């Protein structure tokens, strides 16, 4: 059995020390990493919108949810490995940590290859299903095909990142993303602003940059002095570990996919209002993506903290850390929402100067931003569930509310009252319903109060 790692491994043992300090020290680098990750997509939109115009921005924005739908299942599945790794790391079982790491890498390779093939081949079909405006179809196809060409790098980078995060190492992903983000912005400006190659070149810049971040991860994982050292001969599927990863990861993957499916249907309805609405919706989505980076960082920290401490049998400690994370996420979300509500027109104008785009984007922001606290609460409690191995619970809630109910509401409203603001209201309504369910589950469920190790029924 390999020994417990030393400080040179850059991993963090969250089973000792002050919970809120550990969560904050983990969350801050994750936040900065996600900030840089968001710059990948946002740089494309800002540069394309300012250099190529509204039509090209609409082409990039037309199916952002399509990318999330297709990639989120595979990336969600890697979260299962993160939970397994956190648990065994907390229990100081380095042999199983190593097996989980190699199994996760094998899963990432297979997932990335499948995703690349599906995305490149079926992009035109997916875009037609979503009623993409014919005026922007050619540009949209070119953009998304080049984007999916880099799927292997995207999935494998997220695989390596999930491994490092599970072991409490949130700093190295930040360093790698800084390099690739700067490269991505530079290539966007070169390809789009200088060479004027067209919207497809923005996706090419992203693909190249993701490849660089993956190479940096591979170099790190090849080092023998790390607990997550990778050996080529060991990459494969360990049966018991793989089943455990699937048990935790499949619900997360399905959860991400059903949210993505609901958003694809939302996007299809948005597209029915033509390219101005598509550009406005895409612009607001980028703003919301930035707004929720601190909250997502806290929820990732909560999952790792809970996973490690439950693996070590520190149930009361896991409960204290969870309480701090949930409260912090809700307060931050509402403060951020207030800023978005006030400055919505200014933020939207960064992407497109068209007054109609600004008006629609600001309208959506001012409907949704006030209710960010509800979205944060749902995500925070879901992260506690995942860290405790109860991944089926958030999957079931989000499938029922964020997918089935949201889609039903939108389809009914669009059939009888074809007004875009009813689509915008679908989000706070479903966030509120899921928050009530999660509140009841968290506060009135015996397993949560004692954090007793139980399996999903």
Check: CB of residue 364 under 8 Å from CB of residue 276.
Answer: no
Q: What pLDDT, in 10s, does the model give residues 32-52?
A: 777 776 666 676 777 877 777
- Decide: 83 and 248 in contact? Cβ < 8 Å: yes
Instruction: Give the phi and the psi of residue 235 in degrees, each rounded to 5.
Output: -70, 120
Give pLDDT, residue 215.
92
Q: Please give the full DSSP string across 4-45, using - where no structure is assigned.
A: PP-GGG----TTSS-HHHHHHHHHHHHHHHHHHHHHHHHHHH
State the Rg of the chain over Cα.
21
Q: What share of the chain is helix, strand, coil (3-state, %, to 5)?
A: 85, 0, 15
User: pLDDT band at 373, cuts 50/70/90?
Assistant: very high
pLDDT of residue 7: 46
Q: CB count, 10 Å around CB of 119?
A: 21
Query: For a pLDDT cut of 70, what percent of the chain falls above it?
Result: 88
Q: Sign (positive/negative) of CA torsion 76, 79, 84, 87?
A: negative
Average of per-residue pLDDT across 296-319: 82
Cα–Cα distance, 13 to 22 (Å, whole number): 9
Determine the Cα–Cα distance for residues 316 and 294; give it in Å rounded to an integer. 25
pLDDT at 62: 59
| pLDDT computed for residue 69 by the predictor | 66
In this predicted structure, the answer to whether residue 352 has a pLDDT above a threshold of 80 is no
Question: Residue 377: what pLDDT?
Answer: 94
Q: Which residues of 259-288 are buried (b: 16+ CB within 10 A; e: fewer)?
A: bbbbbbbbbbbbbebebbbbbbbbbbbbbb
Cα separation, 161 vs 169, whole angstroms = 9
Q: Is residue 384 over pLDDT 50?
A: yes
Residue 457 has pLDDT above 50, yes or no: no
* Contacting residues for 396 by C-beta, under 8 A, at least 6 apart: none
Report CA torsion sign: 327, 332, 333, 334: positive
What are 211-241's pLDDT values in tens digits? 998 999 999 888 877 777 888 888 999 888 8
Average pLDDT estimate for 263-291:
79
Residue 70 reports pLDDT greater than 70: no
């Amino acid at each position: 059995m390999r020994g417990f790692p030393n400080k040179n491994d850059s991993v963090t043992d969250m089973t000792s020390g002050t919970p809120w300090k550990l969560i904050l020290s983990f969350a801050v680098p994750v936040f900065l990493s996600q900030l840089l990750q968001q710059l990948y997509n946002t740089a494309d939109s800002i540069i394309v919108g300012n250099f190529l115009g509204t039509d090209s921005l609409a082409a990039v924005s037309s199916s952002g949810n399509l990318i999330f739908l297709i990639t989120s299942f595979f990336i969600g599945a890697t979260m299962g490995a993160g939970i397994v790794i956190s648990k065994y790391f907390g229990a100081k079982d380095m042999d199983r940590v190593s097996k989980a790491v190699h199994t996760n890498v094998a899963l990432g390779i297979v997932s990335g290859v499948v995703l690349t093939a599906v995305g490149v081949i079926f992009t035109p079909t997916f875009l037609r299903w979503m009623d993409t405006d014919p005026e922007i179809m050619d540009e949209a196809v070119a953009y998304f095909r080049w984007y999916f060409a880099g799927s292997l790098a995207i999935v494998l980078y997220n695989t390596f990142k999930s491994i490092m995060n599970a072991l409490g190492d949130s700093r190295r992903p930040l360093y790698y993303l800084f390099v690739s983000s700067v490269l991505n912005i530079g290539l966007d400006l070169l390809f789009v602003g200088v060479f004027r190659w067209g919207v497809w070149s923005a996706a090419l810049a992203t693909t190249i940059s993701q490849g660089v971040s993956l190479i940096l991860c591979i170099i790190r994982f090849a080092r023998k002095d790390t607990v997550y050292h990778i050996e080529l001969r060991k990459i494969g599927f360990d049966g018991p570990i793989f089943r455990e990863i699937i048990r935790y990861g499949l619900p997360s993957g399905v959860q991400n996919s059903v949210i993505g499916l609901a958003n694809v249907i939302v996007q299809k309805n948005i597209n029915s209002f033509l390219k101005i609405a598509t550009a406005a919706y895409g612009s607001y989505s980028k703003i919301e993506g930035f707004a929720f980076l601190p909250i997502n960082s806290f929820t990732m920290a909560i999952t790792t903290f809970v996973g490690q401490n439950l693996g070590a049998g520190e149930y009361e400690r896991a409960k204290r850390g969870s309480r701090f994370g949930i409260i912090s996420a809700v307060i931050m979300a509402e403060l951020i929402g207030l800023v978005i509500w006030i400055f919505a027109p200014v933020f939207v104008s960064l992407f497109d100067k068209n007054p109609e785009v600004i008006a629609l984007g600001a309208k959506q922001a001012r409907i949704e931003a006030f209710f960010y606290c509800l979205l944060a609460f749902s995500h925070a409690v879901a992260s506690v569930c995942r860290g405790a191995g109860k991944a089926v619970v958030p999957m079931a809630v989000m499938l029922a509310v964020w997918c089935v109910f949201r889609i039903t509401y939108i389809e009914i409203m669009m059939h009888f009252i074809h007004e875009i603001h009813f689509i915008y209201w679908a989000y706070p309504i479903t966030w509120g319903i899921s928050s009530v369910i999660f509140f009841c589950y968290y506060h009135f469920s015996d397993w949560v109060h004692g954090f007793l190790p139980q399996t999903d029924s």
